[in-house]
Amino acid sequence: MTDLFNDIQPIVCRGGKVFFLDQTALPVETRWVEIDSVEACWDAIKRLVVRGAPAIGVAAAFGMALASRVVQESGFEGYQARMKESAEFLASSRPTAVNLFWALARLEKKIADSQDRPVPEIKELVEEEVLAIQRENEEVCWAIGVQGQAILRDGISVLTHCNAGALATGKYGTALAPIYVAKERGLCVRVFADETRPLLQGSRLTAYELSRAGIDVTVITDGMAAVVMGKGWVNVCIVGCDRVAANGDMANKIGTYGVALLAKAHGIPFYAACPLSTIDLATPQGADIFIEERDPLEITEGIGGRATGVKAYNPAFDVTPNQLITGIITEAGIVYPPYAENLNSLRGKR
Ligand code: MRU
């Protein structure tokens, strides 16, 4: 792994204190917020101070550590009950990204498996597990980068949507990780970043982190993707995902489905990139994924919002059907169709 992008990490723990890089303020201001309670963690996830599927999982894990520190009960049952309440509370912050639920379930299992130990010892195990979740996500993202770099070549042009970079993960990103690995290996990669209405994760965050890393990035509005593809300027699309269903349908930031349709129309390969923890075999198909709906004011009065006195519909994610996905890049390799069969065969590796 490289240290090249060490300065971009959305969540840090120093001397036991937890800090989130406030992504609502980027790129104008680099502001770190101390998160000192499970309530503050919930609020930060909800308001997108921390965002991106894997980063939300890591953030929720830190929320559990903060909850654990203040549990008063000295008996196992009482401790476990309080932690279950905190897990349910954190789970209510954002519904679509499965990584959040995955991290909470992992910590609840750790607690259940430790029931023979004294509570102070279990609290230490929880802290260790949280740091392991964060560290493993860094390693996994680098591995996704190494796997995904195989589809890139010198001079290639990639279109991405939203931000699935270092800011959205423990480090390095998912969709952007192959680009970072390619850069480290001396390849020249050009990126088109959709601005990603309504909250501009593309123009604010993807453009920020790619340009900091010295990667050639061009921001386009979401409506320009067709023209850019039509001009032959895009060789491949790579996006992140919030949840992959068992049949390979996947949810990602609103607008991703449109990008996939455009890619199909222009004969451009369309890849999704994610850790195995984003694959949810318990959800049969995309139609079963719960899509978060956010405040309409994000559209009417948010960044660039101009509409007054009208309704707005604001689903935060959409579902791209598996037929439009060329491959899913994971740390264990690139998964190709038939997805139902090939995703299921990864079961043991998750
Ligand atoms: O609403 P956000 O900013 O959390 O949405 C983020 C995305 O849709 C990302 O593409 C996805 O979480 C993958 S992050 C590696």
Kindly state whether residues 162 and 249 are assigned to the same domain.
yes
Mean pLDDT of the residues in the chain = 96
Indicate if the pLDDT at residue 112 is higher than 70: yes
- Whether residue 261 is contained in a domain is answered as yes
Kindly state whether residues 337 and 239 are assigned to the same domain.
yes
Kindly state whether residues 289 and 329 are assigned to the same domain.
yes
- Whether residue 31 is contained in a domain is answered as yes
Helix (H) or strand (E) holding 180: helix 177-184
Kindly state whether residues 129 and 147 are assigned to the same domain.
no
Percent share of the chain, pLDDT over 90: 93
Per DSSP, the three-state class of 67 is helix
Domain final residue pick, 139, 166, 191: 139
- Whether residue 5 is contained in a domain is answered as no
Percent share of the chain, pLDDT over 70: 98
Kindly state whether residues 85 and 191 are assigned to the same domain.
no
Residue 339: pLDDT band (50, 70, 90) is: very high
Atom of ligand 1 nearest to the CA of 252: 8
User: C-alpha distances in angstroms, 62 versus 34, 38, 121, 153, 191?
Assistant: 12, 8, 17, 38, 33
Residue numbers of the domain that contains 162? 143-349
CATH number of residue 58's parent domain? 1.20.120.420
Indicate if the pLDDT at residue 7 is higher than 80: no
Kindly state whether residues 93 and 182 are assigned to the same domain.
no
pLDDT given at position 303: 80
Kindly state whether residues 165 and 294 are assigned to the same domain.
yes
Domain final residue pick, 139, 154, 189: 139
pLDDT given at position 273: 98
Please indicate whether residue 347 or residue 195 has the higher confidence score (pLDDT). Answer: 195
Kindly state whether residues 68 and 181 are assigned to the same domain.
no
- Helix (H), strand (E) counts: the chain: 12, 14
Query: What digits encode the pLDDT tens for the residues 41-97?
Result: 999 999 999 999 999 999 999 999 999 999 999 999 999 999 999 999 999 999 999
Q: Torsion over CA of 250, 254, 256 and 262, rounded to 10 degrees? A: 130
Kindly state whether residues 241 and 261 are assigned to the same domain.
yes
Residue to substitute in 176, 197, 201, 293 for testing ligand 1 pocket (most ligand atoms within 8 angstroms of CB): 201
Query: What digits encode the pLDDT tens for the residues 267-308?
Result: 999 999 999 999 999 999 999 999 999 999 999 998 877 888
Per DSSP, the three-state class of 239 is strand
Indicate if the pLDDT at residue 1 is higher than 60: no
Indicate if the pLDDT at residue 3 is higher than 50: no
Indicate if the pLDDT at residue 257 is higher than 80: yes
User: The pTM is what?
Assistant: 0.96
Kindly state whether residues 220 and 295 are assigned to the same domain.
yes
- For residue 222, report the distance from its CA to the centre of ligand 1, in Å: 16
Indicate if the pLDDT at residue 266 is higher than 70: yes
Beta bridge partners, 153, equal none
- Whether residue 40 is contained in a domain is answered as yes
- Whether residue 245 is contained in a domain is answered as yes
Kindly state whether residues 129 and 153 are assigned to the same domain.
no
CB distance 253 to ligand 1 below 6 Å: yes
CB distance 57 to ligand 1 below 6 Å: no
CATH number of residue 265's parent domain? 3.40.50.10470
Kindly state whether residues 45 and 167 are assigned to the same domain.
no
The domain total for the chain is 2
Among this protein's residues, is 113 annotated catalytic? no
Q: Which of 43, 113, 216, 242 is catalytic?
A: 242
